[in-house]
Amino acid sequence: MSKMNPYEMFLKQVDEAAPFLNVEQEFIDILKEPKEVLEISIPLRLDDGSVKVVKGWRSHHNNALGPYKGGVRYHANVCKEEVMALSAWMSIKCATAMLPYGGGKGGIRIAPRELSTGELERMSRGFALGISRFMGTDIDIPAPDVYTTPQVMSWFLDTYEKVKGWSEPSCYTGKPLEIGGSLGRGDATARGGMYVLREALKDMGLFGKPLKATIQGYGNAGSFAHALYEEIGVTVVGASDSKGGTYNPKGLNYADLMKHKKTSGTVADYPGGDKVTTDEILQAPVDILIPAALEGVVNEGNAAKVKAKIVLELANGPTTPEADAILHEMGALVIPDVLANSGGVTVSCFEWIQGRTGDFWSEKTVHEKLDERLTQAFTEIWKIKKEHNIRMRQATYVRAMGRIISAMRFRGIWP
């Protein structure tokens, strides 16, 4: 298994794309470092009266294309290097989707399920207070990520506005509709992945044919993918979460599986399928594998056992560089996270625009704009892939890094 931390993965991905860019090394060097990283300690008053000190981070990677944009995650394994890597991937992702943003990311090292609702609110407000001087509509616009929700964004927004003393609905995205959220945000990550997958299937001559998929990670993105991808002829036959998986070669019923997940808290032990491990989900004999959880699940230790011909990365960084190379040699197409899951940040951008203008769009408009933007991105990246005969991830980085570096060149290196 790869021993790289997530930031080392990003650096290797940059190096693999750099030879196909005719740019000065100084710009590559700048892209390899975050501009600034804030580390904060949050004293959290627990319900029993004791205080627990919680660590949090917010990383600003690059803002040549516009203000920093990226989510905030709550997870027991969050660390500074992970947050830095995620902010760097956001720079690439925003450039990939042609958004007027740079990359940012935040995280708190905590197991949120161990907190009461009151503790979760106090911690969230503590983090929002800590980063309040570090963000804003034209500076850095946070959003939800792993184990953060529209409710958490509501606490963030309310804290920020009380600190600043004015209303600013566009300073956070992923909010409830009642306080400036956007229609179409809930399934945006999975829906964007569907549009990208559809275009890939067309170019591969597979669109319209019966295809099978497994989903590793049955959270927000993974569960929405199950519901949506049936629209383009993909049958989900396996799914897993942190507690285990379920598999049925004839297909899993979305409504029944979601009901079981909500009742039991897991897809494991679902009566409509056989109980399997996450490894078995990754190695199942299917056409499409959809990693939709955390980093590094497809690595040099298991990549050779992956049987899917398409890996659609709805998670951030689920495939290590070593695994990427192995899958390529095996003839599999890896559709990288910075393209495949960019629907979330794209609709966050739409929410930001709506919040700034006060003009809110219909769900149909949001879907149409998302489809148009990601179809264009895929088409341009696919062309680069063919021209240079390189992997899809390399092509995506070539295009995104080219856009960022072009903006940096116009701006100049100062100070």
- Name the residues annotated as catalytic: 105
Contact between 316 and 7 (Cβ < 8 Å): no
Cα radius of gyration (the chain): 20
Q: Under DSSP, is residue 97 helix (H, G, I), strand (E, B) or coil?
A: coil
From residue 95, how far is each of 106, 145, 344 by CA, in Å? 19, 19, 14
Taking Cα atoms as reference points, which of 384, 408, 380 lies closest to residue 394?
Answer: 384
DSSP percent split of the chain into helix, strand, coil, nearest 5? 50, 20, 35
Contact 297, 282 (CB under 8 A): yes
3-state SS, residue 60: strand
CA 248, CA 138: separation in Å to the nearest integer?
A: 48
The answer to whether the CB of 160 falls within 8 A of the CB of 171 is yes
User: Cβ(345)–Cβ(143) under 8 Å?
Assistant: yes
Name the residue among 247, 215, 238, 250 with its Cα closest to residue 340: 215
Q: Are 121 and 370 in contact (CB under 8 A)?
A: no
Contact (CB, 8 A) for 56 and 39: yes
The kind and range of the H/E element at 291 are strand 288-291
Minimal CA–CA distance to 316: which of 332, 297, 289? 297
Q: What is the DSSP letter of 111?
A: -
Residues in CB range of 149: below 8 A, 6 or more apart = none
What lies within 8 Å, CB to CB, of 275 at 6+ separation is 244, 245, 246, 268, 269
Q: What SS3 state is found at 115?
A: coil
